[in-house]
């Protein structure tokens, strides 16, 4: 059985449109470059990240599919 670490490698903000990708080398999120340049969004945005998949950042949320 292969143990897979399920971590998101891409996220986008639902509020300002900022898109970031995970940089394993630096271990930090970096702004993803789009066709018209980086989508930096708003610097003052609190950022509501929309992460693909069933990744649940908060414990206690059981609305995700189990198993």
Q: Does 47 bind Zn ion (CB under 5 A)?
A: yes
The token pair at 57 is 């950042």
CB of 61 to Zn ion, least distance (A): 21
The token pair at 62 is 């059981």
CB of 64 to Zn ion, least distance (A): 23
| Contact window for Zn ion (CB under 5 A) among 1-9, 28-36, 42-50, 53-61 | 42-50
Contacts of 18 by beta carbon, 8 Å cutoff, 6+ apart: 12, 31, 39, 40, 41, 42, 45, 47
Binding site for Zn ion (CB under 5 A): 13, 15-16, 18, 41, 45, 47
């Amino acid at each position: 059985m292969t143990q897979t670490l399920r971590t998101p490698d891409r996220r986008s903000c639902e509020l300002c449109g900022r898109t970031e990708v995970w940089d394993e080398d630096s271990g930090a999120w970096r702004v993803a470059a789009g066709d018209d340049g980086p989508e930096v969004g708003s610097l003052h945005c609190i950022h509501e990240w929309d992460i693909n998949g069933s990744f649940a950042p908060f414990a206690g949320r059981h609305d995700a599919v189990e198993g």
